[in-house]
Amino acid sequence: MPNIIPLPRPLSSAEKAGLALSILIGLLQTMRPRQWTKNILFVFPALVFDSQLFILDSLTSVVLCSCLLVVISGSVYIINDLADLEADRAHPLKKSRPLAAGVVPVPVAWLTAVILPALALAAAYRVNQTLFWVLLVYFVLQVAYSFVLKHIVLLDILVVAGGFVLRVLAGGVVIDVQLSPWLYTSAGLLALFLVIGKRRQEFSALGENAALARPVSAHYNLALLDDMLRIVTASTMITYILYTVEARTMVRYGENLGLLTVPIVIYGLFRYLYLIHVQNEGSAPDEILLTDRPLQATIAVAALAYFIIIYLL
Residues 258, 252: Cα–Cα separation, whole Å:
9
Residues 236, 226: Cα–Cα separation, whole Å:
15
pTM value is 0.86
Q: Are 49 and 310 in contact (CB under 8 A)?
A: yes
Residues 173 and 210 in one domain: no
Residues 197 and 243 in one domain: yes
pLDDT attached to residue 131: 94
Residues 262 and 218 in one domain: yes
Non-local CB neighbours of 231 within 8 Å, separated by 6+ positions = none
Q: Amino acid identity, residue 203?
A: F
Highest-confidence segment of 25-39, 260-274, 289-303: 260-274
Residues 219 and 203 in one domain: yes
Do the domain assignments include residue 45?
A: yes
Do the domain assignments include residue 28?
A: no
Domain total of the chain: 2
Residues 109 and 154 in one domain: yes
Would you list the DSSP string of the chain? ----PPPPPPPPHHHHHHHHHHHHHHHHHHT-GGGGGHHHHTTSHHHHHTT-TT-HHHHHHHHHHHHHHHHHHHHHHHHHHHHTHHHHHHSTTGGGSTTTTTSS-HHHHHHHHHHHHHHHHHHHHHH-HHHHHHHHHHHHHHHHHHHTGGGSTTHHHHHHHHHHHHHHHHHHHTTT----HHHHHHHHHHHHHHHHHHHHHHHHHHGGGHHHH-GGGGG--HHHHHHHHHHHHHHHHHHHHHHHHH-GGGEETTEEGGGGGHHHHHHHHHHHHHHHHTS---S-HHHHHHH-HHHHHHHHHHHHHHHIIIII-
Residues 148 and 189 in one domain: no
Do the domain assignments include residue 307?
A: yes
Share of the chain above pLDDT 70, in %: 90
CATH at residue 132: 1.10.357.140
Host domain of residue 279 = 181-313
Residues 188 and 124 in one domain: no
Residues 83 and 160 in one domain: yes
In 167-178, which positions are buried (b, 16+ CB within 10 angstroms) versus exposed (e)?
bbbbbbbbbebe
Select the more confidently predicted residue: 14 or 69: 69
Do the domain assignments include residue 100?
A: no
| Among 179, 203, 233, residue at a domain's last position | 179
Confidence of residue 254 (pLDDT cuts 50, 70, 90): confident
In 59-91, which positions are buried (b, 16+ CB within 10 angstroms) versus exposed (e)?
eebbebbbebbbbbbbbbbbbbbbbbeeebeee
Do the domain assignments include residue 12?
A: no
Residues 118 and 242 in one domain: no
| Among 131, 155, 179, residue at a domain's last position | 179
Task: Give pLDDT tens digits for 77-134.
Answer: 999 888 888 777 776 777 788 888 888 888 888 999 999 999 999 999 998 999 999 9
Residues 157, 150: Cα–Cα separation, whole Å:
8
Residues 187, 164: Cα–Cα separation, whole Å:
7
Task: Give pLDDT tens digits for 206-243.
Answer: 766 666 667 787 888 889 999 999 999 999 999 999 99
Select the more confidently predicted residue: 280 or 140: 140
| Among 118, 151, 179, residue at a domain's last position | 179
Residues 250 and 151 in one domain: no
